[in-house]
Amino acid sequence: MPSRRELANAIRALSMDAVQKAKSGHPGAPMGMADIAEVLWNDFMRHNPANPKWADRDRFVLSNGHGSMLIYSLLHLTGYGIDIEDLKSFRQLHSKTPGHPEYGYAPGVETTTGPLGQGISNGVGMALAEKVLAGQFNKPGHEIVDHHTYVFLGDGCLMEGISHEACSLAGALGLGKLIALYDDNNISIDGEVRGHGDTPAWFLDDTPKRFEAYGWHVIPKVNGHDPEAVKAAIEKARAVTDKPSLICCQTIIGYGAPNKQGKEECHGAPLGDDEIALTREAIGWNHQPFHVPDEIYAGWDAKEAGARAESDWNERFDAYAAEYPAEAAELKRRMAGELPQNWAEQADAFIASVVEKGETIASRKASQNALNGFGPLLPEFLGGSADLAGSNLTIWKGCKGVGKNNASGNYVYYGVREFGMSAIMNGVALHGGFVPYGATFLMFSEYARNALRMAALMRIPSIFVYTHDSIGLGEDGPTHQPVEQIPTLRMIPNMHVWRPCDAVESAVSWKAAIERKDGPTCMIFSRQNLAHMDRTAAQVDAISRGGYVLRDCAGTPDAIIIATGSEVELAVKAAEAMSGKAIRVVSMPSTDVFDAQDQDYRESVLPRAVTARVAVEAAVTDGWWKYVGSSGAVVGINRFGESAPAGTLFKEFGFTVENVVDAVNGVL
């Protein structure tokens, strides 16, 4: 039977060989964390390589994602669908082993990591999902939701501000099944983080005290190359169930490389053929590149143990289902990501009621009304706000707060943590069982931007709610008035952005976001009241296509006005003021969704023959030129706002009937 060190050396060898073959990559972290990984995966991780999506598996997140060969080696050795040829294709086009772990490429990769700090934040979200799901479904004697989330992270993750946001909240929520293992190796790209010689220090945090202050259980100064010490630390962490745990593992980066271990030289570059030869000798790995002996594979193989673990859980779940059949069916539905059987019918009935009421209200209020309409249909809702619940209006009548001692709720008070909230939501979405939404002012989507990008990159259904959508915010001034945010959000690939013009469009946009399974959605709502627009049943149906004819004219239009959100009413009034002209008004609450429609539909809304077009939106104008063309015009705002009442600002910046009419006349 191979020793623990021999098993860990398989990770070291595969990692240095793959990086060398690719001529790029990061061998240092995998080699330094190999001993920790061996203990965790062979002694504690409960997973099944034959079923990477088993609902009650432990989750593993490599937050320091540059060390991707660590997880690829683990998945290969333990029996997942990653063969030796996949490792040889490390960092190559369309391989299962890209430079950083990417969700959806390799079985067993739970999230995309690379932007440091987001992996640990995703891990917080996964642990939160586990805690809430357990609170909602577990019964006395039936702990059918019972798994851990393990996160590897490094100095870089801890330097990023998002780690403070997410880990602070994890402590407040008492996420006892979250265990983070910190690779404390004193090295980042620029050298020794605590300084050396003439190089000053840049990371002197007392990390154990920092995490203790967050309310974490901390195990400091663990020898990361002593398997028994690592094992004892993980056992201690698992025994503490009322708070998350941080295990500080002191390691040597690039462990085993005689001339480069402990140095930044091995952080982000291949070791080189000569150093690899010396490393093989130093660690006693007398095998050719990418060759792993059968006895090493046998020591790592997790397929049999994984099958037993899942089989045991299936038996326990069957016993649960026999006693609680409704709850068991509901849990299966939610983990499968399926909406309730009666969803479509009831959702459409709610939208019909909104049409009938015809309310003139702020779209943020219409959003809350939609949550009250859809919320009772969706026990999988897990909402929240970054300390703006009273402004974002994200709390609906059925909300119950999630806390350390009340895990069965459905609403998270995220605090002023826009970035952390968004990354945590992504972790919740990745875990499964929930439809997560979280809110802040649109302006502060900037703080969260990289988490939004990661949601789009992973194609996961997080719902980001943004209110106070324009200069209509008013007196708070340009620091709080979004101008460029809507256009730039639309530029994120695979992101759907909705900016509804009234309560009906708000309800439809919520339905679309809830039903979307292949990517995230940004919901953009107003502070100020928006007038109800009369529509036919066909027009209501067309809202979900992203853009549609709201007000038409007889025959071929002389001009088309395109608008979103609060500016749709302005467009309609401008069309009415031009009674001598044939003016079509197009409401386009989602440009992304409209662009995805077939050519015939887009032509029916925006016929190419009509070149006189004006777009109206209280935002930067750049994105609208693709719709209006070189002969069209855009009424927008290409500067920052001012502090004044909303009505005053709209006049100041040209959002008036008169100015829109002038713009239309200018293109005729």
Active site residues: 418
- Residue at 127: amino acid letter: A
Cα separation, 313 vs 86, in Å, equals 31
508: three-class secondary structure by DSSP: helix
* Residue whose C-alpha is closest to residue 432's, from 96, 149, 75: 149
436 backbone dihedrals φ, ψ, rounded to 5°: -85, 135
189 backbone dihedrals φ, ψ, rounded to 5°: -55, -35
Q: What interhelical angle do 449-458 and 118-137 show, nearest 10? A: 70
DSSP string for residues in 82-122: --HHHHHTTT-TT-SS-SS--TTTSTT--S---STTHHHHH
Cα separation, 510 vs 340, in Å, equals 16
Distances (CA, A) of 655 to 142, 563, 571, 633, 646: 60, 12, 10, 14, 11
372: three-class secondary structure by DSSP: helix
* 588: number of Cβ within 10 Å: 26
CB 132 within 8 A of CB 40: no
544: three-class secondary structure by DSSP: helix
Cα separation, 505 vs 261, in Å, equals 59
| 460 phi-psi bin (left φ>0, alpha ψ -120 to 50, beta other) | beta
